[in-house]
Every structure is written in structure tokens, then in C-alpha cells.
Chain A
């Protein structure tokens, strides 16, 4: 059996009670770090890999779908958006166009959000000819695949999504416990803390430093990356939303285009009325006034321009007779964020929420999302995200090698239980605090404790294998 040596610049065994407690604390934290890493490292690798690819969505999709995203030849005059929509619906029967996205690039196609025979698609129209250059099923794009891998581990569904959230939350705990283990106890220890000792490739020290040193340097980036992803998580996300609402620092009403819209106010009484002369049984009158005429997309584009909405922006069509046009910027600089709802008949701007109107938590979440997706400050943001993702993979891989090198035959190779029970209980108390802050962590702690008490401790071989 290989000895369980500790290569960290850890507290040297001393005789004082304080030092014994510190050693026990170290052992306890190491134990939590080990188990959490063993269980969640595979998920963190998947998240890091899919995230590193998704970061470069604009460049990758720009290359893959170049023919669809660009026109063959830049013309002199673009067709009115309404004509493009009309031609598309005529050319592709069974198509309903739900949105039009305008970009500030004469060489780019116009993006049409559409539903074709019940399938959500994006169609790319040449604004000069009105021809469709290509179309994609929304859930079958390159980015959609990696997005699903990142948020639902490809398999999809609520369970997968919760597992991702659980792994991300434990990722934060791994960073914090890892920092505690990394903390240099010896003041002169620069090597192995700030700089890796790579003189003996393949040794445990080599792999330990490839684990701990990059983990230290990237710890802040990892925590920020995870924290900026949590607001849209399934369990913790709504809790964050609740805090933002309670402190009035959330998004104002109608700030997010996908979260409900008001109704057009011009037609409240008109749409309720049937057109009596439309029924064939009644005599057709000599003249008749109709209802309000819906604004055209081009007229709504004019409103967007007068309201100084920065391109690219998307105009979503009204849903039904009482619906509204929605003008929304998307996937751009967070400071330009704007969502407007426009009465589809009169053109009255019923709501207009800009980034400046957001509460401080909503601003932080919005900036965080942009940072997470690598679009807050251009390519350096993408590069920073990529380095962090690759760092996570390296950290996970090096920990696996370390573990394999240390793992004794017939045992899991987990660090032993600390000698001082106070350390065990103290660290457990800290974990419970994490569990209270992150509900899924709390739930997983309960499961682990129940398993430990009811199964592992009662079966000798399991107890031995887990070093319980």
C-alpha cells in the first residue's frame, strides 16, 4: 500500500494543541475537497469544455454559416422589411415570421425568426433581393448543441440542469477549500504556491503543482465565472431574483422581452366588435369604416430609430389583435440594452426600459451574463474565459493523475478522518452554511450524511474503502 503523503506546504506536525487542531482542520478540509472533486470534476470538465467552445460562438458560427449570414452582393437599396417578410411567407407556405433582426452591416442578411410547420427556425434573407440564403432549426445549430451541453449535459431535462447547477455550486466550494489547502504555511514557500515546481516531470509534486498553482491564479476567475452563471440556474436563480425584488434592485417591469408584454391600448374596444357586414347573410353597405390598421415593420423600425435604439435590434411581431410590437436589443453591449413595447396600431411607446433603469442587482446580473458569455469587453474577455475553462480542465486532470498516483489498491484513497472531532464538526458547520446559501448543496449534504450514517458506517468493507 502506498503511503498517504501530503505534498502541500501544510502545517508541520507540532506538539501544541493549536497546531494539532490546525492539522485536523487541514485534514478535514482536504477530505471534503477530495470527495467534492472526485464527484464533480467530470461535470466541471464538461462545463468548461462546452463553455470554452460557446465563448467563440460569433466566430465559429460566422465561419460555419458564412453563406447564410452574408449577402452575395451588396445592393444599392434594401427592400422594405415588410416586403421581405411577405415574400418569404409566400415563397415558403406554412411559414409564420415572428421577428426581424436588423444589423448595422450592409453585407449582412436580415435574420427572420420564424415558425415553419411547427418548428422554430431562423431564416436568413438577402435584404436586396428578398431571397432566403438559408435557414436553420433553432435547436440544431452548432451553438444550440454546446448550449445544451453546458446547461443540460446534452441529455436535457430538469435533472440534468439541476446536476449542472449542483456541480457549479460545488465548484465554488472546491475553490474555497482548495485555497485553504493551497495557503502557504511557510512564508518562504514561493515554489509550489505562486510558481509550479516542474523539475521532476511525472512526479506527484509535478502534478500537485500543476493542480494547485493554476488553481490559485484562476480561483477568482473561476468563482466569477460560476457566480455569473448562477442567476439563470433553476434553483438558486429564483432565490437571487427574490433578493433583488425584495431590495428593489431587480429589473423593472417589462425590461426583458421574453417575460410577458402589455397589450395594445388603441383597440381595447374595437377588437371586441365583430364586423357585421362581413357575415354573408347581411346586405353589404355602400361604405364602411374598418378597424385600425396595423403598423408595418418599417414604421416600427422608424420608431426604434427615433428612440435611438442601437443596432442590432430585433422587432418581434404582435401576438394577436391585442398584442404589441416589441423592440429589443440582444446579445450586444449591456449598456445599450433596451426593451420597448409599442402599440401595434397607434405606434405609442407603451414601455421603454433601458439599462440605466435597471436596479443595481439587475445591472450586475446583466454585466455578469455578458462577462460569462465573453462579450463584455471583446476578444480579451473571450481569451480570459478560454484560459479559465482550459485551466479548469487542467486542474481537474492533474487532480485525477495525483489521485491515481496516490490511490492505494483496494481503497478509494480518500484522505483519512481528522483525529480531532472538533475539526470535523467545525468544517461540517461551514458546509452547512454553504448548504443554506446554495439549496442544492444543502440537499446533497443531507443525502451524503444519510448515506454515511445509514450505509457506509454500517458496512465494514465500504467503511474501509471510504476511509470513513
Chain B
């Protein structure tokens, strides 16, 4: 009887110690092989060719941990530099994780097409440029080059002491 009680007490102590120590170790949660926490992976595809007034399809694939996932998706587009003039477009879905909308842009110019995505408590908001008309395409090349060159020089961060 005494031996059983001793084993029980020791077991309880070891379990308490294990619980205590597990509270002392670094918590990484669920992370993938690159050490990233679960996040929504998206692939936004715009029509390859589009003329003013013509309809083209925008598609978005959403996945979580590599699997397609049901999400709340709202598409929006606006002329570059005018986010206040955003027009929202409803998203439809036939396959899990794939959303699309028909896009009709009235005139030539550069547009930003964005998808606002929320699923499983996570959110993402990918956006791409779409240029219609030769002048817009040329301007888009300039914009893309400018974005590529925007990367700042290293700020010389480091430990604070």
C-alpha cells in the first residue's frame, strides 16, 4: 500500500515537473518546415489580355497549409493612385478555395485589382496591377521598375546595447 502511494506521489511530482518545464521552454506553435506559422497562401491571376469595356476573369486560389480553404473574398479595383474610387465586385466560387469575378474596365489606364481575403481568423489582401492600352503598359513598366528599386539600404539595425 505504502509502495503504491509512493509511486503515485512520485508520478504526480514528475508530471508537475514536466508541466512546469514545458512552461519554461520556447513556444513555437505550429510552424512549417521554414518556421512560418499557418498563413493563407494566395495566387491572384488577372486576364492576360483585356480591352476597355471587355469582360475578363479574375481568379484567386486560397490555401491554408497547402489545402484549398473556404474563405470570405471580396474583389475590388481602382485606378492607380485613387484608392478612394475603389469598386467592389462580388466573388463566386465553384471549387473549394477558388474564387473568381468578371472584370470590366471602362477605359484605358493602370488599375489595381485587389482581393480582400479572410479565413480561419487569418487575413490577406493581395493586389496586382493591370494596364490597358499601350501608354498604360509603358507606365506599368516604369511603376514595376520603381517598385523593384524601392528596396531600402540596410538600416544598420542590431542589438540595442
Q: How far is the CA of A229 from the CA of B136 in the complex (A)?
A: 57
Structural contact, B123 and A289, CB atoms closer than 8 A: no
- Looking at A60-68, A215-223, A317-325, A445-453, the stretch in contact with chain B turns out to be A317-325
Structural contact, B130 and A287, CB atoms closer than 8 A: yes
* Chain A residues, CB < 8 A from B153: 96, 98, 115, 118
Q: How far is the CA of A99 from the CA of B157 in the complex (A)?
A: 10
Structural contact, B47 and A356, CB atoms closer than 8 A: no
Structural contact, A290 and B154, CB atoms closer than 8 A: no
Given contacts A98-B155, A287-B130, A330-B160, contact A357 B29 (CB under 8 A): yes
- Is A379 in contact with chain B by the CB < 8 A criterion? no
Structural contact, B160 and A331, CB atoms closer than 8 A: yes
Structural contact, B156 and A120, CB atoms closer than 8 A: yes
**Residues from 110 to 161 in B contacting A, C-beta threshold 8 Å:** 112, 114, 122-134, 136-138, 140-141, 143-145, 147-148, 150-161
In the assembled complex, the CB of B56 is this many whole angstroms from the nearest CB of chain A, namely 9
* Chain B residues, CB < 8 A from A357: 26-29
- Is A138 in contact with chain B by the CB < 8 A criterion? yes
Structural contact, A369 and B161, CB atoms closer than 8 A: yes
- Is A393 in contact with chain B by the CB < 8 A criterion? no
Q: How far is the CA of A289 from the CA of B42 in the complex (A)?
A: 16
**Which residue of chain B is the closest to A322 with respect to CB atoms?**
B151
Structural contact, B137 and A347, CB atoms closer than 8 A: no
**Residues from 264 to 297 in A contacting B, C-beta threshold 8 Å:** 265-266, 275, 277-278, 284-295
The number of residues on chain B lying at the interface, defined by a beta carbon within 8 Å of a beta carbon of chain A, is 61
Given contacts A348-B40, A350-B39, contact A98 B112 (CB under 8 A): no
Structural contact, A258 and B157, CB atoms closer than 8 A: yes
Given contacts A120-B155, A347-B123, A348-B124, contact A292 B44 (CB under 8 A): yes
* Chain A residues, CB < 8 A from B125: 295, 299, 346-347
* Chain A residues, CB < 8 A from B45: 289
- Is B84 in contact with chain A by the CB < 8 A criterion? no
Produce 1/0 per residue, A330-355, CB < 8 A to B: 11000000000001011111111000
* Chain B residues, CB < 8 A from A151: 161
- Is B86 in contact with chain A by the CB < 8 A criterion? no
- Is A106 in contact with chain B by the CB < 8 A criterion? no
* Chain B residues, CB < 8 A from A318: 151
Structural contact, B26 and A252, CB atoms closer than 8 A: yes
- Looking at B5-13, B30-38, B87-95, the stretch in contact with chain A turns out to be B30-38
Q: How far is the CA of A460 from the CA of B45 in the complex (A)?
A: 88
- Is A403 in contact with chain B by the CB < 8 A criterion? no
**Which residue of chain B is the closest to A348 with respect to CB atoms?**
B39
Q: How far is the CA of A358 from the CA of B148 in the complex (A)?
A: 35
In the assembled complex, the CB of B42 is this many whole angstroms from the nearest CB of chain A, namely 5
Structural contact, B141 and A277, CB atoms closer than 8 A: yes
The number of residues on chain A lying at the interface, defined by a beta carbon within 8 Å of a beta carbon of chain B, is 72
In the assembled complex, the CB of B47 is this many whole angstroms from the nearest CB of chain A, namely 7
- Is A467 in contact with chain B by the CB < 8 A criterion? no
Q: Which of B29, B127, B132 contacts A293 (CB 8 A)?
A: B127
Q: Which has the most chain B C-beta neighbours within 10 Å: A99, A251, A258? A: A258
Q: How far is the CA of A252 from the CA of B122 in the complex (A)?
A: 21
Q: Which of A96, A252, A373 contacts B152 (CB 8 A)?
A: A96
Q: How far is the CA of A232 from the CA of B144 in the complex (A)?
A: 42
- Is B69 in contact with chain A by the CB < 8 A criterion? no
- Is B51 in contact with chain A by the CB < 8 A criterion? yes
Q: Which of A289, A346, A359 contacts B47 (CB 8 A)?
A: A289
**Which residue of chain A is the closest to B123 with respect to CB atoms?**
A347
* Chain B residues, CB < 8 A from A113: 155, 157
Q: Which has the most chain A C-beta neighbours within 10 Å: B49, B140, B158? A: B140
Given contacts A98-B152, A294-B147, A321-B151, contact A351 B134 (CB under 8 A): no
Q: How far is the CA of A318 from the CA of B154 in the complex (A)?
A: 10
- Is A198 in contact with chain B by the CB < 8 A criterion? no
Structural contact, B28 and A289, CB atoms closer than 8 A: no
Q: Which of A118, A249, A316 contacts B157 (CB 8 A)?
A: A316
- Is B74 in contact with chain A by the CB < 8 A criterion? no
Residues of A in contact with B (beta carbons under 8 Å apart): 96-99, 113-115, 118, 120, 138, 147, 151, 229, 232, 247-255, 257-258, 262, 265-266, 275, 277-278, 284-295, 299, 306, 316-321, 323, 330-331, 343, 345-352, 356-360, 362, 369, 372-373
CB-defined A-B contacts under 8 Å, sample of 12: A98-B155, A113-B157, A262-B36, A266-B126, A287-B133, A288-B131, A289-B46, A289-B130, A294-B147, A349-B122, A352-B37, A362-B26
Residues of B in contact with A (beta carbons under 8 Å apart): 23-29, 31, 34-37, 39-42, 44-51, 112, 114, 122-134, 136-138, 140-141, 143-145, 147-148, 150-161
